[in-house]
Structure 1
Amino acid sequence: MAFRRRRPNRGAIVHDGVHRAIERNFGIREESVMTEIRPDMHINGVSSTPGGHYRSASIDGVIKVEGALQVDGLARMNGVVTVKGDLKAHELEGDGKFKVQGRLSAGTARINGLADVAGSVDGEHMILKGMLSVKGDCAVERFEAEGGFEVGGLLNAGTVDIRLYGRGKAREIGGESIRVRKMARSAWKKIWEWMFPKWNPEMEVDVIEGDDVDLENTIARVVRGNRVVLGPGCRIGRVEYGSELVRHPGAKANEEVKTGA
């Protein structure tokens, strides 16, 4: 069983634009290259600013961006930031709390804190330490989460590595390698339990499908994979596996079906 997943839309990831114009005069070929230089955005304090297209962005404080924001390089956000539109960046660093009232597209996104995305997420690498809420789908090459998250649609990645301090939830999860772990006690886990005392560290999902699936503390209706490991705390309706199924004594599966030859 080989999982066939949808690839992220790389066309949405922002890069520097280059325009080439070729002219011929009297048999001589002349080529010119024109690159538009974007301004940098620097804003701090308590303020609002219009959206736009920038080379880089540094946003610090309680800030509202009144429109879509596109950044060719690094977008750094610290504090409480709201983007009233789509956010596109080659690289994103978010510390604190930020909200995107549209779609988020980033080559690499590092989120430390709380992030809320009203649309979908796509890119190459998502690194989360905190809480992420996505109303639509999340499609990246690598998804690493330490904390909790909620994806309203499909979480689709080549590698999914989840370490739960709180609740994880998605309609479906698809990937080549999928790993879910309940984290041991630590200073960060104590802070998480203080912030969200009623949130148990468990994953809730309708369907999980991948090549190599290794789960703990997961509740799912269907799990499909070539190699499937059900660790402690798993409650699964139906498991379909191609080559191997390993089930911990503390895991429950109502139905186990071998699909490989």
Structure 2
Amino acid sequence: MDKRELPDLIINGVSGGAGGTYNSVRIDGVGKVTGPIVTRIFKGNGHMNLKNDLSAEEAECNGTMKVLGHLRFNSLKVDGMITVGESIRGESCTLHGMLNIKGDCELEDFAGEGSFSVGGLLSAGHVDFKLQGQGKAHEIGVESLVIRQTNSGVWSKMLSGIIPKLRSELRARTIEGDFIDLEYTTADVIRGNIVIVGPGCTVERIEYRDQITVHPEAKVGKVEKIGD
């Protein structure tokens, strides 16, 4: 359908709206949408409560947003916190804040700073993320994965010692990819062509094909070269 034939949905202040197919959706304030949304552009500023699915070509969230269903997009930019009740699928996601997903997360590019939690599989082409809190996924499958820690201040160290979930680290059962470069990661198994294990890592088993580098401060159990 021609985008010029589609209506816009605009919510200002404390209000709500119905789901539907739109050219653009803009929420400023506290907004609730009851049905599934399909839109070309979605922009939210404030507190958004979406009771069903959201599908957008371009999505932007500044504040807090809860999506009870699935979240689909070409590009997503987040400054704040998003909670998704089902799964995420998109091309690129730039996050500055927190992302919580109950199901799987499928992205081509995932970058930013903050923390994330994926209840199922995190599948991505390229991940380049700076942790300011905990990153969690049941399993991770990527082409390339780069994880760094940014919380190095005195208060951050004190809080992470008192409250473990505030510690800036990545936790996953298995991590698999072509290029893996990690800091402050706890995993059962890591498999990759090129694997770089930096400081703060605890890994039970590493399987690599081409190259392995392990930092002296990392704790690694078994290391095995696989393939030809």
TM-score range, shorter chain: over 0.9
Pair 1:85 & 2:46 matched: no
How many Å separate the matches in 2 of 1:184 and 1:61? 31
Given residue 89 of structure 1, which amino acid in structure 2 is its aligned partner? A
Question: 1-side partners of 2:180 and 2:34: how far apart?
Answer: 42
Give the share of equivalent positions with the same residue, in percent: 43
Instruction: Give structure 2 stretches of 5+ with no counterpart.
Output: none
Corresponding position of 2:78: 111
Q: Deviations over 1:130-151 (max 9, x none)?
A: 0000001000110113100100
The correspondence of residues 88-237 of structure 1 with structure 2, limited to 5 A, is 88-183=55-150, 185=152, 198=163, 199-237=166-204
Measured on the aligned residues, the alpha-carbon RMSD in Å equals 1.8
Larger RCO (alpha carbons 8 Å, 6+ apart): 1
DSSP-derived class of the 1:136 partner: coil
Q: Aligned partners of 1:79 and 1:184: how far apart in 2?
A: 26
> Equivalents in 1 of 2:48, 2:82: separation in Å?
10
Q: CA deviation at 1:161?
A: 1.0
| 1:44 matches 2:20 | no
Matched, 1:55 2:20: no
Q: TM-score, normalised by structure 2?
A: 0.93
Q: Is the 8 A contact 2:133 2:169 kept in 1?
A: yes
State the AA in 2 paired with 1:64. Answer: K
Q: What is the aligned partner in structure 2 of residue 31 from structure 1?
A: none
1:246 partner SS: strand
After the TM superposition, which segments of 4 or more aligned residues of structure 1 sit over 6 Å from their partners? none
User: What's the CA shift string for 1:107-166, capped at 9, x where partnerless?
Assistant: 000011111000100010011110000001000110113100100011111101111000
Gaps of 5+ in 1: 1-16, 19-34
> Which residue identity lines up with residue 58 of structure 1 in the other structure?
R
Which one-letter code corresponds to 2:139 in the other structure? E
C-alpha distance in 2 between matches for 1:206 and 1:180: 16
Q: Distance in 1 between matches of 2:79 and 2:185?
A: 24
Residue by residue over 1:197-227, the C-alpha shift from the partner in whole angstroms, topping out at 9 and shown as x without a partner, is 7210001100000000000000000000000
Letter aligned with residue 42 of structure 2: A
SS at match of 2:18: strand
In 2, the alpha carbon distance for the partners of 1:44 and 1:173 equals 39
Distance, in Å, in 2 between the alignment partners of 1:212 and 1:59 is 39
User: What is the aligned counterpart of 1:252 among 219, 222, 228?
Assistant: 219
Deviation at 1:183?
A: 1.1
Amino acid at match of 1:38: L
- Count how many residue pairs are aligned between Structure 1 and Structure 2: 223
